[in-house]
């Protein structure tokens, strides 16, 4: 599998703040990228995917992709306690996903 690295956590943010998550990948040929949220003991839930350079917004979430830098990020605006989870960055290779180690986010009320 291809290497995917995420910024180490855990990340603790106050409610209403912005949580910033970063991810780098090693395979320059990678085309699409996913952000998943995983609650303890549960299957991953898709937050969003991105395949074009630039920003992609969906509600309170914004993904950013820079293929030249091999960098993907996820911003969570107006963080809520329910956003407390582990966030996984994944690189797609013909539907086979290479996951990063995950960043655990805790939103303090």
Give least dist CB 20 to other proteins, A: 19
Q: Identify the residue among 7, 32, 70, 106 touching other proteins (CB under 8 A).
A: 32
Distance CA 100, CA 25 (A): 9
Which pairing describes strands 32-38 and 45-50: parallel, antiparallel, or unpaired?
Answer: antiparallel
Query: Around Cβ 32, how many Cβ atoms within 10 Å?
Result: 15
Residues 38-77 that bind other proteins (CB under 8 A): 41-44, 46, 49, 51
Q: Cα dihedral sign for 47, 9, 70, 19? A: positive
Q: Among residues 18 and 46, whose Cβ is nearest to other proteins? A: 46
C-alpha closest to that of 33 among 88, 77, 76: 88
- In this chain, which stretch among 35-43, 54-62, 63-71, 73-81 interacts with other proteins, using CB under 8 A? 35-43
Quick one: 17 or 98, whose CB is closer to other proteins? 98
- Give the residues lining the site for other proteins (CB under 8 A): 1, 32, 34, 41-44, 46, 49, 51, 88, 92, 95-102
């Amino acid at each position: 599998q291809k290497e995917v690295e995420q910024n180490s956590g855990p990340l603790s943010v106050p409610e209403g703040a912005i949580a910033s998550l970063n991810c780098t990948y090693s395979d320059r040929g990678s085309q699409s990228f996913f952000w998943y949220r995983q609650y303890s003991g549960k299957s991953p839930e898709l937050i969003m995917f991105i395949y074009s350079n630039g920003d992609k917004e969906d509600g309170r979430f914004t993904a950013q992709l820079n293929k030249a830098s091999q960098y993907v990020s996820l911003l969570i605006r107006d963080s809520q306690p329910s956003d407390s989870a582990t966030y996984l960055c994944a690189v797609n290779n013909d539907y086979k996903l290479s996951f990063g180690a995950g960043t655990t986010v805790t939103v303090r009320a």
